Amino acid sequence: MCGICGQLRFDQQVVNPEDLNKMMQKIARRGPDSSGQWDDQQIGFGHQRLSIIDLSNFADQPMVDSALDLVLVFNGTIYNYKTLRAQLIKQGYEFSSHSDTEVIIKAYHFWGEDCVNHLDGMFAFCIWDKKHQHLFVARDRMGIKPLYFNLTNKAFSFASNTQSLVAIGADTQINSVALQQQLSLHGVVPAPNTILEGVKKIKPATTLIIKANGDITQKTYWQPKAQRPEIELSSHEYIEKTHELLTKAVLKRMDAADVPIGVLLSGGLDSSLLVALLHESGHKDIRTFSIGFEDIGDEAGSEFEYSDQIVKRFNTKHEKYVVSNSQVLPRLGDAVANMNEPMVGQDAVAFYLLSEQVSKHIKVVLSGQGADEAFAGYFWYARMQAEVGSEVERFSKHYVDRPYEEYLQTVNKQYHSGNHTKTWLDKEFAKAHADEFMDKVFRTDITRLIVDDPVKRVDNMTMAWGLEARVPFMDAQLVEHALSMPPSLKMSEQGKYPLKQISRSLLPASVIDRKKGYFPMPALKYVRGEFLEFMSDILTSSQCINRGVFDQQFVQKVINKPDQYMTALNGSRLWHLALLEYWLQINVDSNQ
């Protein structure tokens, strides 16, 4: 796991080493163990390394293979790298390291752009192919690893975060398409857009070939179907296969590391099941980590009641952290500074603070993201299914944060450029290869929306402390299987029925049958006191007013009655506005 950056120039100019330095400073926290640069006239790469597989210098990056005329920078982990290495050795390739990095280079040389179909893992990488004079760029199937770019008629620049591209002069004007999606999909801006005009992101399951003259070819190499198999399985068979694939997903993530691995244990079903499967597979001395906050009113700030049961049952080596609300505001700016994009999920700060502590003990953790989207764990799914109207209307009523009419009141007229959220949803729901409405919902959620909400959040907040998070529930094979299941099976017993059935012989009933919980961060949900004052100050600041994005009259209405402006998913619309403006102040204004 690392941070990558680089540039390919089209204007006959050489890459400026100072630009590489600026970008590397912005990705430094992703890879604290070592750093490296490489450049050759119009092409240059930078890399910050977090050493996890092959801890020796032989695995350092940028990795140059002089014999093959290839240079690579790579962020992520290839779980099947040992198998691929053995295959490639049989084809005559020689290796100087035991890293998954070198496996990618040889795989690209042997299979060409089809190499991505052989890679099982989470990855974002760029290969300079000197022989063909082009850059090959790839992002993993589920979009777990980030990859941003800036494209002009002079150069293609890329990096693991937005801040790197802003640092070298990317256009920071607000993208009106992204703005409407940001404020209606609780912070999700689907690829390729970001909130900034000059920063784009590679779509998941996508490769690019960028030639030295600026020509670009884009391909999608994986498109999961949300359909039943030709020979449909029984409920028991679906559940058994889920158990098998999830166990496999967990174990291969444990195997691909030369350092210890722990589990972020929230106390919910998903992370508890990861611990149980590790124990079932014979793992000893499992390390677990939990965090909790102060309660606010009836809203609990921790799930220790449940995580403690898991610790006791499996005798894990456990670390538990309690954070007072007084600690949240002073650290909020740090967390926001490490967000690639504005992220409104209230657990972002929690993950940031938890990762700070966990990184003192280990470098790799398993996390439960993706289970709710793949196996129907959220309360709004049943409401969507019961709704009437068009498919997009049924989805939007229980997911979209603010009606389009309210969006028009929220922002100034220059950003009234159309209902881009509806346009995007219409396109997603019109895609083929889905058997019914809820299949489309689950496919859209797990392959598009989750990428730019919980997955990005966890990657950013953990990597800010040089901690790699692996997400077994987002294993591509497991996701394909989950999408093939009848929605009724997944939605039984208020959702996640297959996971609950797997857990019956492994976990306490109190953990399995508890009400669905969310990573608690009450202070950013029920906005009051110093948090209300803080958000009010941001939204009425001269920077915000001069930026001219929000209608100040409407902003004042939300500030005056924040509890009346909650989203369909029980989030704070005030926090959504304040977070966006705060992110721009920290990550854009301070860099200009």
Residue 508 burial by CB count (10 A; 0-12/13-18/19+): exposed, middle or buried? middle
pLDDT of residue 299: 58
Place 1 in a pLDDT band, splitting at 50, 70 and 90: low
pLDDT of residue 364: 93
Q: What is the CATH number of domain 2-220?
A: 3.60.20.10
Mean pLDDT over the full length of the chain: 93
Tens digits of per-residue pLDDT, 4-19?
A: 999 999 999 999 999 9
The bridge status of strand 364-366 relative to strand 468-470 is parallel
**Is the model's pLDDT at 203 over the cut of 90?**
yes
Low-confidence winner among 53-57, 127-131, 296-300, 588-592 (lowest mean pLDDT): 296-300
Block residue for tokens 């402390």: 465
**Is the model's pLDDT at 523 over the cut of 90?**
no
Assigned token pair, 358: 């966990």
User: Would you kindly state where each structural domain of the chain is located, as residue ranges?
Assistant: 2-220, 235-374+456-521, 526-591
pLDDT of residue 328: 79
Of residues 26 and 54, more confidence is placed in 26
User: Rounded mean pLDDT of 28-37?
Assistant: 93
**Is the model's pLDDT at 520 over the cut of 60?**
no
**Is the model's pLDDT at 471 over the cut of 80?**
yes
Distance CA 398, CA 575 (A): 19
Tens digits of per-residue pLDDT, 543-586?
A: 999 999 999 999 999 999 988 888 888 888 999 999 999 999 99
Distance CA 551, CA 151 (A): 31
Place 218 in a pLDDT band, splitting at 50, 70 and 90: very high
Give me the catalytic one of 2, 5, 115, 544: 2
pLDDT of residue 122: 97
Fold of 235-374+456-521: Rossmann fold (3.40.50)
Q: How far is CA 321 from CA 290, 295, 297, 351, in A?
A: 6, 15, 21, 12
pLDDT of residue 552: 96
pLDDT of residue 291: 87
- 5 among known catalytic residues: no
**Paired residues of 520 in beta bridges:** none
Handedness of CA 423, 424, 430, 435 (dihedral sign): negative
pLDDT of residue 530: 83
**Is the model's pLDDT at 539 over the cut of 60?**
yes
pLDDT of residue 301: 63
pLDDT of residue 521: 52
**Is the model's pLDDT at 27 over the cut of 60?**
yes
pLDDT of residue 293: 76
Query: Three-state SS for 228?
Result: coil
